A and B are shown apart, each in its own frame.
Chain A
């Protein structure tokens, strides 16, 4: 591939999905142009690049847009196979396991965490909290069984699942102050708690992480917005 790979990332500073892409690009040592989107006033480029969902992240590689964080991660890994470490394992079976857990995080764990924080009723939030406990404990099991005592889901170094889960770390850290809940409680899920410290301290990770106090403020604002009656003509 000739030099001058043009990479542009459309993102939003608080988005865990965008963070995943930043983490992947950082781990692989790839440079890119970052564009901060105002999600209440989306750019023409965003709408044109992701007409179906109109969401961030969108990675534009040599003019071609790719959407959906998990797909972007795989695309980066494939298109830049020779640059930096591989995110996905080389062995097809281990790749399948990695993809399985990434899907689990997005399909089961994330919605539960979301509901526990942003559920509209007390009941919904309680149900979300319960589900969160179940899913986080399952993930702890995965780290224990698949990780086999290694420091990361990816083994000796961070890989695909680490990045997928790592995208959530900002919010996980903010959660204690925002909701009085530690999703990766060191008592209940010691491996995940240790993993988050370890992952967060990585040289490629630390500079990319969003500021936790800023996330807390943002979270408080979102909660207030949720509690307040909907404004007329509010857009999504």
Chain B
């Protein structure tokens, strides 16, 4: 296929959802213009292109916006030739989609809950949920990987990027709260997989240092505290 595709990605360097899309684009060997959004001051373009959620990532392909990270990843996989991100067999696809949905429904809200918790008790509750979810994922890895290095086989695939995009945040939470979401004793398979993921070419390209996540969390907490102060001073 000749010619360039007009691809632009509205994102946030520390967003796992954005990282998934960047990894997918990279796996397909696609070039794109990257625009870093200030989440605390969203651009008109972002609001115009994702009026429903006003969130990143938004992929703009030949002027048309696509929103929601998992939808974007599937779009990129279906449209562009090259390395397959999702498995080709319908049943294996269903399994990969199932576990991605599990991450979105159970792990992602728990992680956000840990970050946004206003009290220690709340945070402890969310940590419990996160650990429970990760245990299920450890079992899934044992079943799905079939002894391979990654969920999808011997190279990174769909579910690897869906979960892997959170890893630097897990490290950030360890630095902030002493939490060990994946550890070598309770989740040995995931711990080994995480090492491999982190060391991969695909991840090294787009996954930031955990410190960036810590900085972002601090900024988020400061902004929330300021907002609370504003409200309570009215």
A99 near B: Cβ within 8 Å?
A: yes
Most buried by B among A61, A64, A92, A96: A96
Whether the pair A96, B91 counts as a contact (CB closer than 8 A) is no
Whether the pair B101, A68 counts as a contact (CB closer than 8 A) is yes
| Measured CA separation A78–B87 after assembly (Å) | 12
Whether the pair B98, A68 counts as a contact (CB closer than 8 A) is yes
Whether the pair A74, B91 counts as a contact (CB closer than 8 A) is no
| Measured CA separation A71–B70 after assembly (Å) | 13
Number of interface residues of A (CB under 8 A): 22
| Residues 44-83 of A contacting B (Cβ, < 8 Å) | 52, 61, 64, 66-68, 70-72, 74-75, 78-79
Whether the pair A67, B68 counts as a contact (CB closer than 8 A) is no
Whether the pair B75, A66 counts as a contact (CB closer than 8 A) is no
Whether the pair A67, B98 counts as a contact (CB closer than 8 A) is yes
Which residue in A68, A79, A93, A103 is a CB contact (below 8 Å) of B61?
A: A93
Whether the pair A78, B68 counts as a contact (CB closer than 8 A) is no
Residues of B within 8 A of A78 (CB): 90, 93
| Measured CA separation A99–B90 after assembly (Å) | 17
A104 near B: Cβ within 8 Å?
A: yes
Whether the pair B64, A93 counts as a contact (CB closer than 8 A) is yes
Whether the pair A75, B136 counts as a contact (CB closer than 8 A) is no
Whether the pair B90, A79 counts as a contact (CB closer than 8 A) is yes
Known: A75-B90, A75-B91. A93 touches B101 (CB 8 A): no
Q: 10 A-B Cβ contacts within 8 A?
A: A52-B102, A68-B98, A74-B94, A74-B97, A79-B90, A96-B66, A96-B71, A99-B68, A100-B66, A100-B67
Q: Which 3 A-B pairs have the closest CB atoms?
A: A78-B90, A96-B75, A92-B79
